[in-house]
Copies of this chain bind each other. A is one copy, B any other.
Amino acid sequence: MIEDDAAILFGLRDNLQRAGYEVRSAGDGHQGLELARTLRPHLVLLDLMLPGLSGHEVCRRIRVDGLEMPVVMLTALGEEAQVVRGLNLGADDYVTKPFGIGELMARIAALLRRHRRVIPDVVTIGSLEVDRGARRVSREGVEIELTPKEYGLLEFFTRKSGRALTREQILDAVWGDSAAVTDRSVDRAVTTLRSKIEENPNRPSLIQTVPQVGYRFEG
């Protein structure tokens, strides 16, 4: 992602990471081009109004270098002539601000789908790997079989990692408001989950108990 506006950068990065993408960013054209050359990312998000090298120039040089990843231009310049110019320079899509985050994500997914890349959805915590796309968990390549509830709980934890969660929050999120279950069910689910994913279930390192409150997942 090559973008100099910090607000947009952070907002987008958040969304992309939540969707499972790994994001690297640069704040100006030269850095951005360098990053694209060395990192060879699966896709480039490119702001056009940049200090240093202009976005158009970055895109042109990316293509001159023979880099073939999709490039999505991101800009406030919405006039047709601008769009045409951007696309003719080798961009694959051209999205004008203000844009809907959902649309941008869908366009990114569409481009990656074309390029035969798996759209990533894998979270890694230490040696533990949670593949949200495949709904699978593994440690060092060995699959860990989880029941649906255990998986749902773990998935929720990965999305809220680092935060202390009350049993009520966990119930709402994993069991849903329909379910009439006890707090104790959370305890039990946590216990069985620990027994499967913790290296040492007696001394849990991934799922910490927060007394009087609930649990915290260390990610």
Chain A contact patch, size range: 35 or more
CB A112 to nearest CB in B, in angstroms, measures 12
Contacts of A210 in B (CB 8 A): 135
Contacts of A12 in B (CB 8 A): none
Contacts of A164 in B (CB 8 A): 133-136
Contacts of A107 in B (CB 8 A): 87
Interface residue A163 (Cβ < 8 Å from any Cβ of B): yes
Contact call A134/B163, Cβ cutoff below 8 A: yes
Interface residue A92 (Cβ < 8 Å from any Cβ of B): yes
The listed residue (B70, B80, B134) touching A100 by CB distance below 8 A is B80
* Distance in angstroms between the alpha carbons of A162 and B91 in the assembled complex: 30
Contact call A109/B88, Cβ cutoff below 8 A: yes
* Distance in angstroms between the alpha carbons of A14 and B136 in the assembled complex: 44
Contacts of A162 in B (CB 8 A): 118, 133-134
Interface residue A77 (Cβ < 8 Å from any Cβ of B): no
124-141 of chain A: CB within 8 A of chain B? 133-136
Contacts of A184 in B (CB 8 A): none
Interface residue A147 (Cβ < 8 Å from any Cβ of B): yes
A107 nearest CB neighbor, chain B only: B87
Contacts of A110 in B (CB 8 A): 87, 91-93
Contact call A103/B91, Cβ cutoff below 8 A: no
Contacts of A216 in B (CB 8 A): 134-135
Known: A107-B87, A114-B114, A162-B133. A148 touches B213 (CB 8 A): yes
16 contacts between A and B (CB under 8 A): A81-B102, A83-B102, A83-B103, A87-B103, A87-B106, A87-B107, A87-B109, A88-B109, A91-B110, A92-B110, A114-B115, A118-B162, A133-B163, A134-B162, A134-B216, A148-B212
